[in-house]
Amino acid sequence: MADAVTRVLECPNCGAPLLPARFARSVVCSFCRTSVQVDPSAVSAALFRKALAAWNSPETHGYTSILSIGSSHWATRRFIAAGEISDVFFAERARRPTERVLLKILRKPEDLPLFDREWEVLVKLQQSEAPGAALFTTLVPQPVFRGLVDDGPYQGRHAMAFRWPAGFSETFEGVREAYPQGIDPRMSIWMWRRILELLTFLHRSGVVHGAVVPPHILIEEGDHGIRLVGYSAAGESGMPLATFCSRFEKFYPARRLSPAADVSMSARSIAFVLGGNGAGTDTDVPASVPEPLADLIRKLAADGADDAWHVRESVGNMARSLYGPPSFHPLIMPP
């Protein structure tokens, strides 16, 4: 029987598949914006399936190390970090046009409940209707896919991917390594305020982060951007803490989730990036930090606060009394 004709074409300009609306005579390529006239007699179903298979085949695009999850294929490009339960890689979709992601691969099957919790919390946040959701849902990890790896070097392991946040390549831990004596205190003002803004969104969305520690705070070099990652401990206020980062165990003020604990950890992380130790009730701040800022850090490190937005305003008021109107103080990492 002759191949059925399908109304699916390949863009002659960039090669992306075209999916025109029913009965349409022309279509605009969603990738390169080329306008293409549709000729239903030009492409048979068999030819299209063959072209689609070639388009989705990693081998046709020069990839060699491939990880497959269902019908999608991914090339791991660079190891980024070893988290508490998973290994994190920079990866990209192994076809044109590609897509960049952060790929997390679970190390031990017994940690799957924590892995699944992170995914469920982040999906919930993407559905949030809390004030500022249109912005803040772009500042938390955005889920792309999850599944079982069925081919490649990590076959049989669970994986999930999130959109790649361009420009966010350093953590507070990395910043402290680059600046062991601490950053300029003026930088810490905008960093802390950005963290508190994110915590406000999380808390108003019914989510407590539970692990606001240096490896989970990403900073945008050369700008004033902050992101929070590491949501395997996240959940509703009052839940027991399911896991913690062993390297920063003393940053956790309690073994139960609460907004106050999140705010306390934010203060301890700011003390850490300023050159202090950030370790619980022994949190110290270097003498180079102005006393009003140091006092506020120590108070919140010890006691926390339920209202992250109120703390954000307090930090801003304190900064204006110290430094005057807000000014631009981006972090620049040494070469």
CATH 3.40.50.300 matches 62-163? no
Residue pLDDT, tens place only, 162-219: 998 877 878 999 999 999 999 999 999 999 999 999 999 999 999 999 999 999 999 9
Instruction: Output the pLDDT for position 314.
Output: 96
**Has residue 110 got a pLDDT over 80?**
yes
Residue pLDDT, tens place only, 211-250: 999 999 999 877 888 999 999 999 999 999 999 898 999 9
The CATH number fitting domain 168-323, selected from 1.10.510.10, 1.10.10.10, 3.90.950.20, 3.30.450.20:
1.10.510.10
Tell me the whole-structure pTM to 2 decimals.
Answer: 0.81
Q: Count Cβ atoms within 10 A of the Cβ of residue 70 and give its class: 0-12 exposed, 13-18 middle, 19 or more buried.
A: exposed
62-163 and 168-323 have identical folds = no
For residues 224 and 14, what is the distance between their CA atoms, to the nearest angstrom? Answer: 36
How are strands ordered across the β-sheet holding 67-69? 67-69, 72-82, 86-93, 100-106, 158-163, 143-148
Contact between 18 and 8 (Cβ < 8 Å): yes
Contact residues for 328 (Cβ-Cβ < 8 A; gap 6+):
224
How does the average pLDDT of the chain come out, rounded? 87
Residue pLDDT, tens place only, 118-158: 999 999 999 999 999 999 999 999 999 999 998 888 899 99
- Give the angle subtended at the CA of 212 by the CAs of 114 and 177, to the nearest 5°: 110
Structure confidence at residue 6 as a pLDDT band (50, 70, 90): very low
For 238-274, give the DSSP string: TPBP----GGGGGG---SB--HHHHHHHHHHHHHHHT
Q: For the residues 91-110, what does the mean pLDDT come to? A: 89
Structure confidence at residue 24 as a pLDDT band (50, 70, 90): low
In sequence order, what E strands does the chain have?
A: 9-10, 17-18, 26-28, 35-37, 67-69, 72-82, 86-93, 100-106, 143-148, 158-163, 168-171, 217-220, 226-228
Annotated domain spans of the chain: 9-55, 62-163, 168-323
Which residues on adjacent β-strands are paired with residue 79?
89
Instruction: Output the pLDDT for position 46.
Output: 78
Residue pLDDT, tens place only, 297-335: 999 999 999 999 999 999 999 999 999 988 888 888 887
Which residues on adjacent β-strands are paired with residue 78?
90
Select from 292, 325, 247 the least CA-distant residue to 81. 247
For residues 155 and 149, what is the distance between their CA atoms, to the nearest angstrom? Answer: 5
**Has residue 4 got a pLDDT over 60?**
no
